[in-house]
Amino acid sequence: MTRPPKLLVFDSGLGGLTVFAEIIKLRPSADYLYCADDAGFPYGSWKEPELVERVMELMERLVADHAPDIVVIACNTASTIVLPYLRVHWPALPFVGTVPAIKPAAERTRSKMISVLGTQGTVARDYTQNLIAQFAAHCSVTLVGSKRLAGLAESYMHGESVRDADIGAEIAPCFKEESDRRTDAIVLACTHYPLLVDEFKRLAPWPVEWIDPAPAIARRADQLLGERFGADAPGRQPVSRRIIFTSGARPPAPLVAALARYGLAWTAVVPTA
């Protein structure tokens, strides 16, 4: 095909920007729409049937209005709960999901002590337990369900003050010591968390590898697009990079500036229910 591909990146908020940033490195000239369901944030507070209904309704509108060639669900919660329904409903539309990067963590750890830092829902789901059983059975795995980090990341992106003590309290349970070994790899099992990774590194009691799934997600999206559109040509200019918020609210100036660093322009839309 000669036209550039259309990509839809979907998340409950701004966490998917961490995935978006990796995709545009591989596909700089594509036509991008980022949808932040800020009216439904945080997804961790939703019951599963209601979340399925909400995301399916939003996706109906997004697919009808924008006709994407591929959809990236840049949210762990939505991926583990809603992705199967999306793939059944749109069998011809590729969906790329986000799952905890437990396999690479288990491969890279030297101490065989890893932690999975996610929302309370993500770390409690059978999906996560199955990944641990499949790929990290030889490791000591600490599951840490955070109540506040996603919200803190949103506040950070909005230019609001975020206290070190609040971040430190959320990541502290990830760091474990047993005799002569200690945690050396932490899985960031929520796409919001890499937005704060520099703060994590600064506040950590010792250095660890913070494992972000975003590069792998981007490679998968690029692979699927390559099968249909071929490789992105060097030097091509981006077609469009837009972001919409389901609340319909105008983003504050600090957030507009942050979005501009990703090349994203805000587009007003009719608020969702």
Annotated catalytic sites, by residue? 75, 190
* Residue 107 host element (H or E): helix 102-108
For residue 201, the 8-state DSSP code is: H
Return d(Cα 119, Cα 130) in angstroms, integer.
17
Return d(Cα 273, Cα 182) in angstroms, integer.
47
- Quote the distance between the C-alpha of residue 232 and its chain's center: 23
Return d(Cα 49, Cα 23) in angstroms, integer.
30
Reduced to 3 states, what is the DSSP secondary structure of residue 88?
A: helix
Return d(Cα 180, Cα 187) in angstroms, integer.
22
